């Protein structure tokens, strides 16, 4: 209901006017909402006001900023994760009223979001932890958003979020994820999958460049072809573009000038840590994080390359076109594994944290706007939509049928890479995970025996209930 007090006031407030915050505000303004932006950097406020958008108003004073908002006041933060989020919240509590809504749209760790939700709920404020994916362009034209926490607050902000989100088949790529820290947990897993797919793409590049000795324009054509078929996705699309981009006046690709040291902001590591805490394997994500760390050790790698020169033939004796078709199949296999491991982590987190997640809904909103959007997400959505209690994506009949077709190519690609000294840790992790996932009898009975031998950690038997310990004395050891 519009009260006299709310007339001519702004519907939405944004704290943090960097590229993401500014772009999101412009997106909101484009959809007819009057909004306010605050930053303690006066230049960014001036830049916002210089847009000359009648629906956007920049402020350098926090009290003036919040006073410009309708009640209940909606304030979203897009600031770096960590202590600065707590600092901004503390400042806001002095200028907001009970019942107002605070949204953290940054990449906060889900445990911090859990704590903040409980603290703010106790003080009478609504708190929403919301993952936002799509980068700068997504923020401006339509991101995928993963809000969680306070559902009452979500219903208030829902009309705005649904307007500014990307649209797929006429539906917005935003939905309420679940209780408390659910939104940021889902976004964290999204980023873990993103790490994995980016690593797989870098390894496919290594195979084509080093193993098949392909020129950049040939590699560009391969990725372009992939993006027109079953691998169609945002990350393959931008990789295609990267293999065609040259700075003005230069003959070589910009890619050739970029150092091979990948940085990270921590969300991939958080995904691996969360998975390990839940005793759930996500090896393709884990190795992708490790490879970024290894890439940063440039000096060590240069030194090692001199001590251990290539001792095998690095060039494949293969037909490039035919082999790239096999590589495409292998990439599909590994990509499915990355998504499957991420979705399994969400399934397990739902059991552990009682988030009330809907995996089909998560796949649905990932189909557009976000970094990991892909054609395959339609299959994931269909799988969980038809089987809401599906424990693991690889158990879905349609997914299993498609994966089975690609197994021979996957084995060929991984074995050839190993034989020729080309590192494919993510492809290899995907294959090893699969081979043990389908293994009814893993060799871990030996590990249990070893643990009991040296540490009396006990073991269980196949045909007898209970927990057992053996004194592994020499007289019982038969050689």
The catalytic residues are 187, 194
Candidates 424, 261, 423, 407; CA nearest to 332 is: 407
**CA–CA distance, 265 with 139 (Å, rounded to integer):** 19
The 3-state DSSP class for residue 102 equals strand
Torsion of CA 136, 141, 146, 148, to 10 degrees: 100
**CA–CA distance, 142 with 393 (Å, rounded to integer):** 28
**CA–CA distance, 185 with 412 (Å, rounded to integer):** 36
Cis before 72? omega within 30: yes
Return the residue matching tokens 């410009």. 68
The sign of the torsion formed by the CA atoms of 122, 124, 128, 129 equals negative
**CA–CA distance, 173 with 182 (Å, rounded to integer):** 16
**CA–CA distance, 231 with 238 (Å, rounded to integer):** 13
In terms of C-beta distances under 8 Å and separation of at least 24 residues, what long-range contacts does 407-413 make, across chains too? 407/333, 407/434, 409/326, 409/327, 409/328, 409/329, 409/330, 409/333, 410/329, 410/330, 410/333, 410/334, 412/326, 412/330, 413/207, 413/326, 413/327, 413/330
Count of C-beta atoms within a 10 Å radius of residue 306: 7
Candidates 426, 365, 362, 368; CA nearest to 390 is: 362
The 3-state DSSP class for residue 438 equals coil
Read off φ and ψ for residue 21, nearest 5 degrees: -65, -45
Residue 21 makes CB contacts below 8 A (sequence gap 6+) with 14, 15, 37, 39, 78
Candidates 182, 133, 145, 142; CA nearest to 166 is: 142
Let me know: does 185 contact 353? Beta carbons within 8 Å: yes
Stretch (H or E) spanning 126: strand 126-133
């Amino acid at each position: 209901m519009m009260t006299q007090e709310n007339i001519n006031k702004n519907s939405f407030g944004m704290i943090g006017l960097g590229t993401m915050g500014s772009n999101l505000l412009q997106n909101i303004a484009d959809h007819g909402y009057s909004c306010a932006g605050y930053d303690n950097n006066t230049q960014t406020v001036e830049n916002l006001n210089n847009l000359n958008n009648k629906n956007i108003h920049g402020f350098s004073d926090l009290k003036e900023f919040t006073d410009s908002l309708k009640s209940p006041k909606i304030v979203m933060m897009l600031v770096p994760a960590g202590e600065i989020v707590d600092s901004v919240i503390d400042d806001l509590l002095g200028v907001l009223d009970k019942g107002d809504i605070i949204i953290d749209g940054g990449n906060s760790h889900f445990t911090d979001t859990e704590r903040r939700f409980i603290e703010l709920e106790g003080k009478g404020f609504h708190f929403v932890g919301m993952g936002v994916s799509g980068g700068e362009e997504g923020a401006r034209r339509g991101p995928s958003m993963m809000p969680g926490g306070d559902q009452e607050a979500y219903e208030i902000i829902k009309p705005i979020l649904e307007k500014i989100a990307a649209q797929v088949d006429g539906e917005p790529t935003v939905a309420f994820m679940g209780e408390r820290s659910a939104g940021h947990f889902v976004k964290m897993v999204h980023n873990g999958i993103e790490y994995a797919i980016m690593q797989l793409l870098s390894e496919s590049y290594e195979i084509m460049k080093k193993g098949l000795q392909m020129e950049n324009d040939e590699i560009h054509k391969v990725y372009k072809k992939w993006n027109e078929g079953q691998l169609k996705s945002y990350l393959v699309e931008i990789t295609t573009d990267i293999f065609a981009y040259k700075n003005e006046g230069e003959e070589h690709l910009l890619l050739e000038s970029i150092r091979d040291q990948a940085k990270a902001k921590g969300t991939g590591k958080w995904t691996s840590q969360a998975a390990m805490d839940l005793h759930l394997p996500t090896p393709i994500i884990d190795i992708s994080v490790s490879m970024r760390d290894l890439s940063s050790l440039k000096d060590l790698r240069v030194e090692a390359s001199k001590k251990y020169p290539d001792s095998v033939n690095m060039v494949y004796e293969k037909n490039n076109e035919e082999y790239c078709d096999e590589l495409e199949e292998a990439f599909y296999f590994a990509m499915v594994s990355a998504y499957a491991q991420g979705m399994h982590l969400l399934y397990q987190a739902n059991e552990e944290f009682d988030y009330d997640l809907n995996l089909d809904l998560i796949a649905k909103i990932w189909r557009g706007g976000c970094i990991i959007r892909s054609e395959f997400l339609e299959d994931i959505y269909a799988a969980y939509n038809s089987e809401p209690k599906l424990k693991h994506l690889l158990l879905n009949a349609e997914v299993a049928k498609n994966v089975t077709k690609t197994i021979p190519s996957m084995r060929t690609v991984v074995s050839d890479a190993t034989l020729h000294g080309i590192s494919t840790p993510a492809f290899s992790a995907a294959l090893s995970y699969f081979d043990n996932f389908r293994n009814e009898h893993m060799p871990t009975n030996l590990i249990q025996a070893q643990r009991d031998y040296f540490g009396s950690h006990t073991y269980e038997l196949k045909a007898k209930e209970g927990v057992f310990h053996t004194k592994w004395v020499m007289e019982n050891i038969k050689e």
